[in-house]
Amino acid sequence: MSLETPAAEPVSPPAPAPVRDLDWDAGKARELGERVMEIWLELLERMPHLPVARPHTVEEVRAAVALPIPDEPMPLDDLVAHLRDVALEWSMYPGHPSFLAYILGSGTVPAAPAELLAAGLDQNLGGWRLSPAATEIELHLMRWFAESFGLPPGSGGIMTSGGAMAAFVALKTARDARSGWDSRDRGLVAGPQLVMYASTEAHVVNERAADMLGLGRRGLRQIPVDGELRMRTDALNEAIVADLAAGVRPVAVVATAGTTATGAIDPLAEIADICAEHDLWFHVDGAYGAIAALVPSLRPLFRGMERADSIAFDPHKWLYVPPSAGAIVLRESHRLVEAFDVNPSYVHEDRERTKRGANLMEYGPQFSRGFRSLKVWVSLLAHGWSAYERRIEHDVELARYLYRQASERPEFEPMGPEPRLSIACFRYLPPGLPEGPEREAYLDRLNERLMTEIQLDGRVFPSNAVLDGRFVLRICIVNFRTEAADLDLLLEVAAELGARLDAEMRAR
Ligand SMILES: *Cc1c(COP(=O)(O)O)cnc(C)c1O
């Protein structure tokens, strides 16, 4: 026995005990997963017989769905009942055959299980090492679209949240590629004023992108349109010449391939010539329409698009996947890296050693990125491209059918140019409406109220456009469930509610 007092044993705390609450095993996952799957399948079966939308108020919806967050697990039966309620009582259905509004894909069926798998895989496409297969699928898909649009090898791009972010990414890249100084480093104060151009029919997100890029909203010049609602290239030329003379530097032109109001396609080849002449970035906003260029019968409408520096398109529109899924492809995909690369000290990588691929955090404004491309990829694999071609053509045929019906029936009037893509506009014209100075203003008020009443009625769901100051009803078919009968129903409902409103309004 030693006489020395033993040194005190260092007391090391015990290893932390496991905390397993959040770690559901496969059996528990199956319980919830299968019951959610049942809700989805019930929705698929019942959707055509449900109203497209219900006239609920915000108070009603909030009271029904805004549950308090529990401290302890909600019993599975209650949770599933809540989800079923959300799906079948308190939602509206862009995938309903009679949903005809805005531009909102009906949601491919294979996208839903693809989203489940994407969430289950938990990939982060900011870094290749965190998403090897996912990053390669996204890049492969983007190269396929870019080359199918006619861009050369070396083209490609990334997925975005939608057309709005695609516009921002494209115009940011354009700004830095064409400013003429290191605008990324020194900002806009270091050079002359920069401007871009788009038609008066261009989508508002382009203006907002100009705002976010520091050009200001007026930094996106609004060019007037012709009778077919396409950008007037003579006016574009004049605007560029005037800006140059004033010491302002033009950097980009946004041509729209499928405007939101009527589906008009700007004269892309002529705009490409003007961009080439002045060394401007040629951006095509094809958020809605560009996909139609991949259909041989519609391709000629898009002549000149293959000369673009960048093309925005939205898989959540005419590729029918559920939101959100936008995309931007560029003639020279490396331009994205020039506009967005960063070099964080906390993301070290020896690529020569690892042979890893691209880190998409350097290709756009997002750092962490989800596996958005999987729903697009799975839908294309499951359906095959030919099915898309047939359906996109059919959507266009249906829009023309509605336009024709509106011109043949006396209580309707087709409005705007004849559909080139899948958008058609018309208005209700009550029989016996007297001619006179009040007529147009009355028709605007009547059709404005009519659109609201049709949406609240819920049997069909159109939206509106304002064409040359006139309020019109508008349909856009990016819906693989819509058929001619849905369009007949639209006219039936519009005639019924229109007659009632007209009687009411004229009595006053
Ligand atoms: C829909 C649309 C946008 C906006 O796209 P989001 O996906 O809604 O962000 C931009 N441009 C055009 C031409 C569009 O049709």
CA 421/CA 180 separation, integer angstroms: 38
Ligand 1 closest atom vs CA 163: 5
What is the per-residue pLDDT for 428?
A: 98
pLDDT beyond 60 at 351: yes
pLDDT beyond 80 at 455: yes
Query: 293 with 281: CB under 8 angstroms?
Result: no
What is the mean pLDDT of the segment spanning 383-397? 98
Architecture of domain 386-507: Alpha-Beta Complex (3.90)
CA 365/CA 369 separation, integer angstroms: 10
Mean pLDDT of the chain: 96
Ligand 1 closest atom vs CA 316: 7
Residue with the nearest Cα to atom 10 of ligand 1? 163
The residue type of 225 is V
| 98 CA distance to ligand 1 middle (Å) | 21
| 169 CA distance to ligand 1 middle (Å) | 13
pLDDT in tens, 368-388: 999 999 999 999 999 999 999
CATH number of 115-383: 3.40.640.10
| 288 CA distance to ligand 1 middle (Å) | 6
Annotated domain spans of the chain: 26-93, 115-383, 386-507
What is the per-residue pLDDT for 342?
A: 87
pLDDT beyond 90 at 345: no
Residue 271 burial by Cβ neighbours in a 10 Å radius (0-12, 13-18, 19+):
buried
pLDDT beyond 70 at 395: yes
Ligand 1 closest atom vs CA 257: 13
| 401 CA distance to ligand 1 middle (Å) | 25
Residue with the nearest Cα to atom 6 of ligand 1? 163
Q: Is 256 helix (H, G, I), strand (E, B) or coil?
A: strand
Ligand 1 closest atom vs CA 256: 13
Ligand 1 closest atom vs CA 164: 9
Q: Which helix (H) or strand (E) holds 118?
A: helix 111-121
CA of 360: how far to CAs of 3, 140, 180, 467, in Å? Answer: 67, 13, 26, 41
| 102 CA distance to ligand 1 middle (Å) | 10
Query: Which one of 102, 205, 207, 463 would you pick to mutate in the ligand 1 pocket, going by the greatest count of ligand atoms within 8 A of its CB?
Result: 205
Beta strands 310-313; 281-286: pairing state = parallel
Q: With pLDDT > 90 as the criterion, what percentage of the chain qualifies?
A: 94
Q: Name, in order, each residue with C-beta under 8 angstroms of 325's C-beta and a sequence gap of 6 or more.
A: 159, 162, 314, 315, 316, 319, 372, 373, 375, 376
pLDDT beyond 60 at 1: no
pLDDT beyond 70 at 2: no
Ligand 1 cavity residues, CB under 6 Å: 103, 162-164, 203, 205, 256, 260, 285, 287-288, 314, 326
Ligand 1 closest atom vs CA 165: 9
Q: Which of 364, 502, 362, 367 is nearest to 430 (CA)?
A: 502
Query: Which one of 207, 231, 288 would you pick to mutate in the ligand 1 pocket, going by the greatest count of ligand atoms within 8 A of its CB?
Result: 288
Ligand 1 closest atom vs CA 286: 13
Ligand 1 closest atom vs CA 288: 15
Residue with the nearest Cα to atom 12 of ligand 1? 287
pLDDT in tens, 32-71: 999 999 999 999 999 999 999 999 999 999 999 999 999 9
Q: Which helix (H) or strand (E) holds 196?
A: strand 194-199
- CA dihedral defined by 74, 79, 85, 88, rounded to 10 degrees? 160
Residue with the nearest Cα to atom 3 of ligand 1? 163
| 81 CA distance to ligand 1 middle (Å) | 35
| 262 CA distance to ligand 1 middle (Å) | 13
Output the 3-class SS for 416-459: CCCCCCCEEEEEECCCCCCCCCCHHHHHHHHHHHHHHHHHHHCC
Ligand 1 closest atom vs CA 259: 13
| 128 CA distance to ligand 1 middle (Å) | 29
Query: Which one of 168, 229, 314, 474 would you pick to mutate in the ligand 1 pocket, going by the greatest count of ligand atoms within 8 A of its CB?
Result: 314
What is the per-residue pLDDT for 174?
A: 98
Q: With pLDDT > 70 as the criterion, what percentage of the chain qualifies?
A: 99
CA 284/CA 272 separation, integer angstroms: 10
CA of 113: how far to CAs of 91, 108, 120, 376, in Å? Answer: 20, 10, 10, 12
CA 372/CA 6 separation, integer angstroms: 63
Query: 446 with 498: CB under 8 angstroms?
Result: yes
| 484 CA distance to ligand 1 middle (Å) | 26
Q: Give the end-to-end CA distance of the chain in Å, rounded to a whole number.
A: 112
Residue ranges with strand state E in 96-181: 156-160
pLDDT in tens, 279-319: 999 999 999 999 999 999 999 999 999 999 999 999 999 99
| 438 CA distance to ligand 1 middle (Å) | 35
